[in-house]
A = this chain, B = another copy of it.
Amino acid sequence: MALNKIYDTSLTLLTDLYQLTMAHGYWKTGRAEQEAVFHLFFRKNPFQGGYTIAAGLEYALEYIRHFQFSEDDLSYLKTLEGNDGRPLFSSGFLEYLADLRITCDLAAVPEGTVVFPHEPLVRVTGPILQCQLLETALLNLINFQTLIATKSARICTATGGDPVLEFGLRRAQGIDGGLAASRAAYIGGCAATSNVLAGKLFGIPVKGTHAHSWVMSYDDELSAFEDYARAMPNNCVFLVDTYDTLDGVRNAVRVGIQLKESGHQMVGIRLDSGDLAYLSIEARRLLDEAGLTEAAIVASNDLDETTISSLKMQGAKIAVWGVGTRLVTAFEQPALGGVYKLGAIRNEDQEWEPRLKLSEQAIKTSTPGILQTRRYLNENGAVADMIFNELAPPTSERSVLIDPLDSTRRRVLDDKLDSQDLLIPVVQQGEIVHQHESLSVIRERAQQQLDLFHVGIQRHLEPHEYPVGLEQGLYDYKTEQILLARKLNHQ
């Protein structure tokens, strides 16, 4: 195993084996080209929150752009065996894979869009074999970045506009766990990252100072700060807690004054342990008394939206927040439960037949159809989202939406409202038609999107529940199908 080899390999096999065995099944039963529609969605906002920010689409599109089984991939698949010791895949099937290119259509919500449970983030339409082969990678790429963009937005809300620096690389879940997290954290509102490779690849601003080891490599802290200031006079944020924090602040103040006298400016100091409320207030006093009013106090140490809110309430004098582990791993809930479910299949008569998966839990029963989400807006912002079946769209005069988990919650939507359909075409016949967007455009969209909604959805405790429902016709159809599948339909 060479690290480089992982990263030079075709990623086409980044999938679960069952996608390939099913593909084999579709191919062998002559149904490889049968058209199907799949939806990628999640069932609950992460972190018991009131919203989710979609991210990761660009990775998904790049995956599709490069989708192709390499000779290596096929040689490997050839070695796999079934329980009788015979090859798992027939050679005809492997030849089929060798020539396979994605010809699906994909519609997706743009990255940075605020989304809610049950709304499709991605809709894949095309030969069922291909739809299936894309499932695992789409879920992997979109689940993770959506999770982190949402976590980041929550943390940025907690700081009330103070900049948040993402410092998580060392505790991230692997190389890409770090890189993709830096990208998504920036989308969610972080101001910068410490991850230099993410800075290089994505154009995210990078920030950093020095570590305890810099101070420990000197006989005393003051010499360490002085030397650092001489070497990097335009990047001085001194980490003051290697020995005694307030002594550290006093040493930083001395060097801050020296910097000022030589025409430079100390950016600030950093607190990385201890009682951040107490220490930041004392440090602010020491800095201000010395006339270093512009020096910022940066704090870090296992911070997240909860500790930040608490520090804010305690009057901590922290201007910049360094957040690592708890952001890049989404510590309190490290996975978004995104799923990818079949919505409809085209039958032999070329007609679309909606399909659903049952479950004893209503929340886990999938919604049949070719789904789209329509967001209704008035002059104040978003009013409600309606999930509907494109095969039977809502009529223009009157649109009723029904809460999928409580049919007594209904809402009639005024036809004078503006509306916008969230899924837009991003791949047509396998060709990427979605234009590349810079991260800063996506980051701005996330902010603008959040501004569309009542601020209550951003509350961390018991957030406002934004209305999302099924269009009445879709609701009725789904109910009928469930009863039919449960053989409880006595019509």
A152-185 contacts to B (CB < 8 Å): 167, 169-181
Measured between beta carbons, the chain B residues less than 8 angstroms from A59 are: 3
Closest to A36 in B: B217
List of B residues within 8 angstroms of A1 by Cβ? 58, 62, 201-202, 436
A29 to B330 CA separation, bound complex (whole angstroms)? 39
A460: Cβ under 8 A from any B Cβ:
no
Q: How many A residues, CB 8 Å from partner?
A: 127
What distance in Å separates the Cβ of A66 from its nearest Cβ neighbour in chain B?
Answer: 6
Given contacts A139-B170, A196-B16, contact A235 B132 (CB under 8 A): no
9 A-B pairs whose Cβ atoms sit less than 8 Å apart in the complex: A1-B62, A3-B11, A9-B200, A14-B178, A15-B195, A21-B209, A84-B233, A144-B172, A171-B338
A277 sits at the interface (CB 8 A): no
Contact between chains at A83 and B235 (CB < 8 Å): yes
CB pair A132–B213 under 8 Å, yes or no, is yes
Q: Which residues of B contact A65 (CB under 8 A)?
A: 2-3
Assembly stoichiometry (copies): 2
Known: A28-B232, A88-B232, A140-B171. 9 other contacts (CB 8 A): A9-B200, A22-B214, A25-B228, A140-B169, A143-B171, A145-B174, A170-B338, A212-B341, A213-B341
Nearest chain B CB to A161 CB, angstrom units: 20
Mask of A357-376 contacts with B, CB within 8 angstroms, 1/0:
11110001000000000000
Do A143 and B170 have beta carbons less than 8 Å apart? yes
Interface positions of A (Cβ within 8 A of B): 1-9, 11, 13-22, 24-25, 28-29, 31, 34, 36, 38, 58-59, 62-63, 65-66, 72-73, 76-77, 80-84, 86, 88, 128, 132, 135-136, 139-141, 143-145, 167, 169-181, 194-197, 199-202, 206-214, 216-217, 227-228, 230-235, 242-244, 264-265, 267, 273-274, 325, 329-331, 334-338, 340-342, 345, 355-360, 364, 436, 485-486
A181 proximity list for chain B (CB < 8 A): 173-174
**Contact A128 B6, beta carbon cutoff 8 Å:** no
Q: Which 3 A-B pairs have the closest CB atoms?
A: A82-B234, A17-B208, A3-B62
- In the complex, which of the residues A83, A173, A227, A355 has the most CB atoms of chain B within 10 Å of its own CB atom? A173
